Structure 1
Amino acid sequence: MRLYQTFLLTILAVPAIAQQPEQTLTYRAEAAVTVSNGDYAPLWLTANRYGMTSNESKNAYLRAGIAWNKSLKHNWRIAAGLDLAGGKNLTSNFWIQQAYADISWKKLTLSLGSKERSGFPLEKNEQLTSGWMVEGPNTRPVPQIRAEIRDYLDIPGLGHWLALKGHLAYGKFMDGNWQEDFVARGEIFTKDVLYHSKSLMLRLGNKDKLPVEFEFGLLTAAQFGGDRMQKNSDGSIGLIRDMPEGLKDFWKIFFPTQKSTLENVEGNHCGSWNFGLNYYYGDWRFRAYLEHYFEDHSQMFWEYGRWKDGHIGVEISFPQNRWISSLVWEGLNTTDQTGPILYDGVGGSFNDLQMSGGDNYYTNGEYLGWQHYGSSLGHPFLMGPQYNTDGSNEVKGCRVKAQHVGISGTPSDEWKWRMLVSYSRNWGSYKKPFDKVTKQFSSLVEATYSPNRLKGWSVTAAIAIDRGNYPGNSTGGMITLSKTGGFGL
């Protein structure tokens, strides 16, 4: 918190070096109530909302925030924001949702703090997609120091035919106390875990001369450092291991290496290969994308044959009309995981043999669930520990096949709507398979009204239905009232 305050004061104290600087100060206030009749709230009233809601069948939140942006001369910009939230039946009674300060020059930005970021580096329609595989809007932001080129930057001298974007970040997970409260006695949890991610994406094509663009690149993320703890049978807390987090460990996480194929790299690593293809035809836009997820080298490359796991999608953006603006179809498969066999040669008959199957997505031997405050950091169909009734900190259902459709429209400048429909099957994991394949249908219908006569006000009503056996049947609704505006400067 002291670091946040220091950086915010520094930014706010920057002198106005432009003669006529452009600046904005905006505010946002929002309240939402969710009511449902199942053991859990319907999936689409919980998932991909930046952790603002919870899977509790009845929950409510109130949030308020401000954001300041200022343009300086010589293409410099500064920004800062603060967003506070609290509520009932959530993972916290009160928390800081966003607290950040940014300084930018052209397309390069240095950002410090918690900030809602999504769709990076692979673009998807945030309102219609089912999610991202590595990181997305499914949980609260992770506080971090982040250098990034968020929007594609043309490489000079190539006539706008090649562009790049990317980022480098280090941060810290803030859910150690939540884990301690959540896990059952005898279970393991972690505290003060550090975070790292980086990406590089390239875009080939110049749509002004040829209506086709191709994107490809790599995203990697990791957990490292922190403490591995256990809640004892009497409720006391014991330290199992203080995991390395010295200066050299930051380098080991940035560039993970192994001394041999039988030795794991330090930390918990995951990532995705990302591909996108855009085609423009008049006012139409057609986009296809693939996000291939991996947790180690066996899925990162074609060591074990072609890739079978990933998230594939198609989006159609329609010409302006009264009813439909975008349509998304997506398919998800995480059932392969390089096959069911994991053999590392330790204590076996073949000491020099390794078979790196059974990757057990989103659950690591040292760092447990790839989660933050109980929600999966990646795709919500791989449900986080908040759904575990036994108080274990792991992602139990990681072998999933799913189909998803999203559609949205803007009938007028006062109304907009969206609909999500999903069907998933879940096998559990190779290590702990479910007794039978679970099936789940999840749907959402949502409409937002923003009356012109009440500038800045909007109300959103949503109805969602879940049917199946993981996480179960539920019917519920959500009402959200929000007000946005600005202050004259």
Structure 2
Amino acid sequence: MKLDKIFIPLFMAAALPVMGQKNYNLSYRIETEATFSNGDNAPYWLSANKFGLGGTKKDNFYLRAGANWDKSYRHGWKLAAGLDLAAGYKTTTDLWLQQAYFDVSWRMLSLSLGSKERVNSPLDKNTALTSGWMTEGINTRPIPQVRVEIRDFYSLPFTNHWLALKGHLAYGAFTDGDWQKDFAAPGQLYVRDVKYHSKALMFRVGKKETFPLEFELGLHMATQFAGDQMRKLDDGSGELVMDMPDGFSNYINALLPSAGGSDTTWGEQVNIEGNMLGSWNVALNYYLNDWKFRVYLDHYFEDKSQMFWSYGRWKDGQIGLQVDFPKNRWISSFVWEGLCTKDQSGPLLYEGYVGSFGGLKTTGNDNYFNHYIYQSWQYYGMGMGSPLLPGPVYNKDGCMIFRSNRMKGQHIGLQGTPIPGLDWRLLASFTRHWGTYSRPFDSVKHQFYGMAEVKYTPKRFSKLTFKAALGVDNGDYIGNSVGGTVGIQLRIKN
């Protein structure tokens, strides 16, 4: 929680001087949820895609309280701030800072400082129904960062609104080093003081008021860099294994993917410094009266072998279909997604000989979401990428890697509002796991995750929202579980 000493005073210094002014929006929130289940874990969809709230253990509870403030000024200026604290039982940590941020916006451009619940990917998906995003999504706690972004599509004025763009550039820090040390078993590796970088740019071509088709194309990349690799000792302490540099040039290498210097390991010098990964994002929207059809591709890569077409067609990624229905009482949206991470450019590819055998070039075995220095693309045990690949928090041996990153899956989601104030949604996912290329499973493992949820906001008590959900897991990867969640949220606005 070292960064709390920075962000809490920053939030208070920025927000308090203007709290007494008029014409601002101020809201408070108190929220609590309790999950009860059998089996080794809580049902999967009762803990995934919730910004790291709740817990993966079979019985858990959390309480959350916070406030958000924003004020608009002349000439397109706007200020916003938020503070959100949470505490839990059988959660990853007992007490944590969920959000603490201060935003300055001018027209379409914004600067955000701190931890804030945001969808990091530029690819729009239905957050309630999607299985997640391949590179970054809403499956983990917010990472504290400094972020410049165009949050929503901005139409370029000289194109008559036919071309729009959005994107972001961010630097931050992973703060889960102490948690990793506690979680890791003796002899296992973990990391601390790791830095974070993310960037994205997305274009949209189309003007739905004139023509019913829109096309979107973008690139999203993220990086882990700097930090220390540690090994857990039998007495509970850690010994330094590798010290990665943390200078100005390392931040530049994260921004402009470059090989590491002489102060990095040999692997970083011949490749790209840090754990760099990302996704190509493509979408096509079609509007038909009050219907909307959206088809999208979220193609994941960890190096050039999947970033470009040099090694044949892309076989990995997520494809999705979203249908938004005309207003009706029962179904408002439907999502189907298919996902594959099984290929990874193959187990091994030979690029040819240069001179002697020592000049042999190989690629393949991209080992998605795992890394030889940073262990894995995770935060507090939850996967930063697609939640359909369970993160290290589910490992029983205290290892900080993804046990299976070769997977194929199918996912569907439905939601509706049958009566005012009553919302429902249904999620169902089926996955097959092969392990990793270096450690394959003896046989293919299968897993099913399902959830049914209802939320009710009474008309007479519109500040209260009640929630109940039933979750079911069945399979031989993370196991079987049946359980439920009950929760209540109180929102008060000025």
TM-score, length of structure 2 as denominator length: 0.95
DSSP 3-state at the match of 2:223: strand
Equivalent residues in 2 for 1:346-365, closer than 5 Å: 350-365=357-372
| Paired position in structure 2 for 1:241 | 242
DSSP 3-state at the match of 1:179: helix
1:434 is the counterpart of 2:441: yes
Moved more, 224-233 or 5-14: 5-14
Equivalent residues in 2 for 1:248-327, closer than 5 Å: 248-258=249-259, 263-327=270-334
Name the CA distance, whole Å, in 2 between partners of 1:343 and 1:175: 38
One-letter amino acid matched to 2:335? V
Name the CA distance, whole Å, in 2 between partners of 1:468 and 1:368: 26
One-letter amino acid matched to 1:357? G
Matched-pair contact (CA < 8 Å) for 2:268–2:274: no
1:12 is the counterpart of 2:15: yes
Moved more, 433-442 or 252-261: 252-261
Name the CA distance, whole Å, in 2 between partners of 1:126 and 1:376: 16
Matched-pair contact (CA < 8 Å) for 1:262–1:345: no
Structure 1: 5+ residue stretches without partners? none
Structure 2: 5+ residue stretches without partners? 261-266
| Paired position in structure 1 for 2:264 | none
1:226 is the counterpart of 2:227: yes
| Paired position in structure 2 for 1:472 | 479
Moved more, 165-174 or 378-387: 378-387
One-letter amino acid matched to 2:377? W
Q: 1:336 to 1:28 in 2, by over 3 A?
A: same
One-letter amino acid matched to 2:341? T
Q: 1:209 to 1:3 in 2, by over 3 A?
A: same
| Paired position in structure 2 for 1:94 | 95
One-letter amino acid matched to 1:116? E
The alpha carbon displacement at 1:329 in A equals 0.4
1:203 is the counterpart of 2:216: no
| Paired position in structure 1 for 2:28 | 27
Find the partner of 1:414 among 405, 410, 421: 421
DSSP 3-state at the match of 2:39: strand
Any idea what the Cα deviations from partners look like across 1:182-220, whole Å, max 9, x if unmatched? 000001100010000000000000111001100001000
Matched-pair contact (CA < 8 Å) for 1:21–1:73: no
One-letter amino acid matched to 1:353? L
1:36 is the counterpart of 2:37: yes
Find the partner of 1:459 among 447, 451, 466: 466
Name the CA distance, whole Å, in 2 between partners of 1:378 and 1:261: 23
Matched-pair contact (CA < 8 Å) for 2:253–2:259: no
Name the CA distance, whole Å, in 1 between partners of 2:492 and 2:268: 56
TM-score, length of structure 1 as denominator length: 0.96
Matched-pair contact (CA < 8 Å) for 2:43–2:471: yes
Any idea what the Cα deviations from partners look like across 1:110-162, whole Å, max 9, x if unmatched? 00000011163000000000011111111101100000001011112111000
Any idea what the Cα deviations from partners look like across 1:155-178, whole Å, max 9, x if unmatched? 121110001100000000010000
Name the CA distance, whole Å, in 2 between partners of 1:86 and 1:95: 6
| Paired position in structure 2 for 1:330 | 337
Name the CA distance, whole Å, in 2 between partners of 1:128 and 1:236: 42
DSSP 3-state at the match of 1:336: coil
1:162 is the counterpart of 2:163: yes
Matched-pair contact (CA < 8 Å) for 1:77–1:104: yes
The alpha carbon displacement at 1:303 in A equals 1.3
Count of aligned pairs between the two proteins: 484
The alpha carbon displacement at 1:43 in A equals 0.8
Name the CA distance, whole Å, in 2 between partners of 1:105 and 1:11: 16
Matched-pair contact (CA < 8 Å) for 2:447–2:476: yes
Matched-pair contact (CA < 8 Å) for 1:22–1:72: no
One-letter amino acid matched to 1:465? V
Name the CA distance, whole Å, in 2 between partners of 1:88 and 1:143: 23
DSSP 3-state at the match of 1:181: helix
One-letter amino acid matched to 1:55? T
Find the partner of 1:448 among 439, 445, 455: 455
Matched-pair contact (CA < 8 Å) for 2:62–2:89: yes
Any idea what the Cα deviations from partners look like across 1:384-438, whole Å, max 9, x if unmatched? 1111111111011100100011000011221000000111000011011111100
Matched-pair contact (CA < 8 Å) for 1:228–1:241: yes
One-letter amino acid matched to 1:35? F
One-letter amino acid matched to 2:300? Y
The alpha carbon displacement at 1:262 in A equals 8.2
DSSP 3-state at the match of 2:297: strand
1:341 is the counterpart of 2:348: yes
One-letter amino acid matched to 1:242? D
The alpha carbon displacement at 1:356 in A equals 1.4
Matched-pair contact (CA < 8 Å) for 1:21–1:72: no
1:384 is the counterpart of 2:391: yes
Any idea what the Cα deviations from partners look like across 1:220-247, whole Å, max 9, x if unmatched? 0000011111112333311112111101
Name the CA distance, whole Å, in 2 between partners of 1:463 and 1:302: 43
Name the CA distance, whole Å, in 2 between partners of 1:174 and 1:394: 18
